[in-house]
Amino acid sequence: MSDKAIPRSVPLPAGIRLTLAPMAGVTDSPMRTVCGACGAGYAVTEMISAKALVYEQRSHAGAPAKTATLAYIDPDEKIPVAVQIFGSEPVFMADAAELISNSSYRGFSGAAPAAVDINMGCPVKKVVSNGEGSALMKDPEKIYSIVSAVCGRSSLPVTVKMRSGWDGEHVNAPECAVAAEAAGAAAVCVHARTREQFYRPGADISVIGETKAAVKIPVIGNGDIDSPEAAEYMLRQTGCDGIAIARAAIGDPWIFSSVRAMTEGRPLPPSPAPREILDTALLQLRLSVKLKGERRGVAEVKFSLSHYLKGLPGSAAARRDIMSATSEDAAADVLRGFFGKFAGGDTAVRRITTYGLSETEK
């Protein structure tokens, strides 16, 4: 295997400056579709095991690879989408990257991806105990070998998503970004928390500015952006080239239109009215069922649907009802019943949101 990067046939899309960050179990095609419609410029699939993709490709079962659903990009998604892979062995990472960049993995049936993204940020125990995800940040040389192996086999741009470091004693995102850049990465996204911090409050965005100063490739800042003001602060304080938003987009894809308006110097759009929130939630539900079938489609979209209600008066009971819905009709009825209560469905409502998701990825 050569570690000499092959020429990229596709440039990195400019939309990366306003990215829907990857979230396992959340940033599937329906979620990306609604976020793209609301102004996100780019999105990343949830993380996919490179080894699983490669093994499923080699197996003779004949069925489409399960991982193919995770990597599925609908032709109706209006924004470029990167497929994120995780792993620790350069050979599997390179094999998976080649399958993705050629769209040649078993079960491929969607639109071509825009980039291959490498996960170096996942904090979950069973991932880091295999030396994967954020554990890679302990070893910048390994980062170099993985990124160069992937670049050697991907005709798409290769990007890296990392944290600020492993723990407070080892905040080394700049060093890791330098290794990734030297190996051929086209951009890095830095979540300003260490692995040790998981999702606890206390992100320190100064590491994003330090990473920006260390490399020439674009640096995307990530962590706790939940408003246009927070986006502006991140951009101004760190000098980063773009931002990525994860948790704040769940149930609130309009965050992208607000941030976009702010960065383009336009007045902020009004908050969405109940009718628009309802229509968007119903669209995400419908797309999820269409993609995954009713049982799995409803089960996997419930978490996002419940967030459309979050922060609205009297939503606690409806959120519980959403979580126990088992059919598309039942979920849609809960949504219609809840939003139907708002007099003047076209008048914007104020929502108070908090993340409350910090434990979900453990």
Can you give the binding site for ligand FMN, defined by CB under 6 A? 21-24, 26, 46-47, 84, 119, 121-122, 161, 191, 222-225, 245-248, 357, 360-361
Give the up-direction half-sphere exposure of residue 348: CA atoms within 13 A in the CB hemisphere.
7
Q: CB nearer to ligand FMN: give 175 or 361.
A: 361
Catalytic residue among 38, 122, 151, 176: 122
Could you tell me the smallest distance in angstroms from the CB atom of residue 263 to ligand FMN?
16
Cα(139)–Cα(135) distance, integer angstroms? 8
Cα(246)–Cα(240) distance, integer angstroms? 17
Comparing C-alpha atoms, which of 80, 150, 67 is closest to residue 111?
80
Catalytic residue check, 189? no
Could you tell me the smallest distance in angstroms from the CB atom of residue 120 to ligand FMN?
8
Could you tell me the smallest distance in angstroms from the CB atom of residue 159 to ligand FMN?
11
Q: The dihedral of CA 115, 28, 104, 108: what is its sign?
A: negative
Q: Read off the amino acid at residue 112.
A: A
Q: CB nearer to ligand FMN: give 201 or 267.
A: 201
Could you tell me the smallest distance in angstroms from the CB atom of residue 361 to ligand FMN?
5
The pairs formed by 265-269 with CB atoms below 8 angstroms and a separation of 24 or more are: 268/228
Secondary structure E strands in the chain: 18-20, 42-44, 48-49, 81-86, 115-120, 158-165, 187-194, 219-222, 242-245
Q: Could you give the residue numbers annotated as active site?
A: 122
